[in-house]
Amino acid sequence: MTTLAEDLRRSLDHSRNRLIAFALEPQIEQIGRVVEIGDGVATVIGLPETRLDELLVFEGGIHGLAVDLGEHTIGCVLLGDASTISSGSLVRGTGQVARIPVGEALLGRVVDALGAPLDGGSPVAAEAFAPVEQPAPAIIDRALVARPLATGLLVVDAMIPLGRGQRELIIGDRATGKTAIAVDTIINQRSSDVICVYAAVGQKASSVSQVVEAVRRYGAPDRCLFVIGEADAAPGLQWLTPYAACAMAEYFMARGRDVLLVIDDLTKHAAVYRQVSLLLRRPPGREAYPGDIFYIHSRLLERAARLAPELGGGSLTALPIAETQAGNISAYIPTNLISITDGQIYLDPRLFYEDQKPAVDVGKSVSRVGGKTQAAVLKSLSESLRLEYAQFLELEMFTRFGSMVDERTHKVIEHGRRIRAVLSQQQFAPLPLGEQVALLLALSEGILDGLPLERVGTFRTNLGSWLAEHCPEAAALDDRAEVLREDLRSRIKASLELLAHSLGPPSAPP
């Protein structure tokens, strides 16, 4: 008993000494209260020191973002489930802006806008935390876009080429293949050093799952990152998703890496922002969008750039996606995005329903930067392709009325049909540069004109293995290759003629 009493006394003395040594200092804690809540937003009073875009913490650990600072109240966007918050709940200020984890540990993961894992894995071991909102690189910090970004889609790489550091809009009606083009571009980076970031805004869980599975099956998932704000996520998380994805991508760009950022899609992002703004009672403008709807997208897409060599020379290429209604590209949000980006890839529903996939309307699509970075070996073979294809489309329209055509017009139409057949491409099957060069050479030399139209698809299917066996120099071409030497051009042409001959006798002359 004596021993137990002494032990108890020593323990009490130790605790007393710790309490005496503890320095009691006044601490200031900003605390407010919720006065109104609903539909993903909350109105707060009692936090006079709150800054714009400051992160607030509600009861239950739910975070919110202060986006509207009034004279007496604060409009807050919630970044989680608001079921545990009610009027009168306490709110605490953090004094910090929204930050997300960045680093190599994110590669291969599926996360939300705050970096929380959605793939069932362990929490992300972040190397650092970066602000979600960051200023775009200054003009003096940028370099010229000088290297192409291959998509693996012949219609894009030949006629609407992209450059590393460019912003190219993918636009079209619902279910016309916009996401398919972006996913094929991501898959094609399996043979490059480009890191890919896919941001899903307001998409169905099933659609997101299909994208993730496609990249894991056909691409290089260890160099891909998926930032997801699904349709059933809080509006605040959906709104924050593209900014968070851009901040994660900028981490790699700042370290000299080339990054591809796909945002799917900004039309839903604008709708979410309109919903939040109306709930916060901001004055509505055209189509009920708030007055700064242009700014929220411009400040995001302007962060895509190629950095100067002294800053590492990294690049961030943005492929935002926008949805149109009945092909109306002159609507409010599409015109805003077209004016911000460096070009657009327009998908025509009519072409899609005619089974021309990718359904790219070459006449309405343009790349204002990438043409200067296009691989020289590809550019020399595709200079007249757009003109030839446009002439064919115009002539085909007139011949649909059943009028008689002369032999020259018939040859132009038959050649154009083979161009269209070559531009058609299966999903998840991007073409390496060598095969693209071979296909364009076959078109320019008229090798496919003597092949029956129904066998052009077989020609495309067998081309890769045929080149690897009969002309490996063509299969080894990359985006740094110069214009084809005459000897190599002759070898590729001879190989293509052999392939066409092996598929059967030529078609009958007109």
Q: Known catalytic residues?
A: 368
* 82: region left, alpha or beta (phi > 0 left; psi from -120 to 50 alpha): alpha
**In this structure, which amino acid lies at residue 439?**
L
Assign residue 28 a region (left: φ > 0; alpha: ψ between -120 and 50; beta: otherwise): beta
Judged by DSSP in three states, 182 sits in helix
Give the alpha-carbon dihedral of 245, 156, 148, 428, to 10 degrees: 60
Angle at 201 between CA 205 and CA 340, to 5 degrees: 155
What DSSP element (H or E) covers 200? Answer: strand 195-201
Which residues contact residue 60 at a Cβ distance below 8 angstroms, ignoring those fewer than 6 apart? Answer: 84, 85
Q: How far apart are CA 380 and CA 68, in angstroms?
A: 54
Structure tokens at 372: 């200067």
d(Cα 359, Cα 352) in Å, to the nearest integer?
Answer: 5
SS (H, E, C) 423-475: HCCCCCCCCCHHHHHHHHHHHHCCCCCCCCHHHHHHHHHHHHHHHHHHCHHHH
Q: How many CB atoms lie within 10 A of CB 420?
A: 18
Quick one: which of 469, 137, 151 has its CA closest to 311?
A: 137
